[in-house]
Amino acid sequence: MDTISKALSHGGIQGVYRHEAETTRCPMTFAVYLPPQAEAGKVPVLWYLSGLTCTHANVMDKGEYRRAAARHGIAIVAPDTSPRGPDVPDEPDNWQFGCGAGFYVDATQAPYDRHYRMWSYITEELPALVAREFPVDMERQGIFGHSMGGHGALTIALNHPERFRSCSAFAPIVQPSTAGWSKPALTKYLGADEAAWRRHDATALIADGRRFPEFLVDQGTADSFLNEGLRPWLLEEACKKAGIGLTLNMREGYDHSYFFISTFMDDHIAWAAERLR
């Protein structure tokens, strides 16, 4: 693991790191914020998964999470959203697929199956590296994310309820198997058999019996993707039917941007902190 940069912030350290990833077969960059409490011992860890077109840097630069993370003594890990590099297949003119749009799945279709293994990277390889290299308590993990990353957070938590004590999302894609901007990506990554998509669809996972204690979701009412891509009411219906707790906050006038995310970031970190104590 190489250290790209380190900076002091709110008494803690914001670092950026790079390593050669076995799962994605390319160098991967990620950010870690360690709060000042990490100097005295291991701290809880909160994973943040970003959305389409993003890298590790979007939330690091715009998310305004460090003050709350330092206050609550929580480490924040921000991975990249896809493999990258000259050998990684891509569709440069398609922002909804390829580099910056890994959708947190392990591709099974050529040529994407060689590199696009973000599910294994996020759930296996990167946690092992973070546990080895940083003073984090892997018995106290939470996960959250935005848009495509909200989809990733929900599906990973539902598949690994024993691992995570908290899960929340900003404007998540709650049913990617039917959303226009995610169906083409799932087809290219996972094939035409939609049964293979269910592991990566929060509403389908709940319908198939997967459970998580409770979710927090914030969604802007002025989000241009609300009605066609995000549709939080589908998650609300699924959770109600399954008896899963859901706090769904419809935020009047907010859009899909980091202005929205940064406004409610403190709420999500406080939510996680209550459950990671």
150: confidence class by pLDDT, cuts 50, 70, 90: very high
Mean pLDDT for all residues in the chain: 97
Lookup: tokens for 256: 């899909």
Q: How far is 96 from 80, CA to CA, in rounded Å?
A: 15
Burial class (CB in 10 A: 0-12, 13-18, 19+), 87: exposed
What is the three-class DSSP state of 102? Answer: coil
Give the Cβ contact number of residue 86 at 10 Å.
6
Q: How far is 174 from 146, CA to CA, in rounded Å?
A: 11
What is the three-class DSSP state of 124? Answer: helix
Per-residue pLDDT of 18-58, as tens digits, reads 999 999 999 999 999 999 999 999 999 999 999 999 999 99
Lookup: tokens for 156: 């990973």
Domains of the chain, by residue range, sit at 2-276
The pLDDT value given to residue 58: 98
Q: Catalytic one among 56, 146, 151, 256? A: 256
Chain-centroid distance of CA 94 in Å reads 21
The pLDDT value given to residue 14: 98
256 an active-site residue?
yes
Burial class (CB in 10 A: 0-12, 13-18, 19+), 241: exposed
DSSP assignment of 161-206 equals: TTTEEEEEEES--S-TTT-TTTHHHHHHHH-S-GGGGGGG-HHHHH
166 an active-site residue?
no
User: CATH number for the 2-276 domain, one of 2.60.40.10, 3.40.140.10, 3.40.50.1820, 3.50.50.60?
Assistant: 3.40.50.1820
Q: How far is 255 from 168, CA to CA, in rounded Å?
A: 18
> pTM for the complete prediction?
0.97
Per-residue pLDDT of 89-146, as tens digits, reads 999 999 999 999 999 999 999 999 999 999 999 999 999 999 999 999 999 999 999 9
Report whether pLDDT(153) > 90.
Answer: yes
224 an active-site residue?
no
Q: Catalytic one among 80, 106, 218, 223? A: 223
The pLDDT value given to residue 178: 96
Give the Cβ contact number of residue 250 at 10 Å.
14
181: confidence class by pLDDT, cuts 50, 70, 90: confident
Q: Catalytic one among 50, 82, 147, 182? A: 147
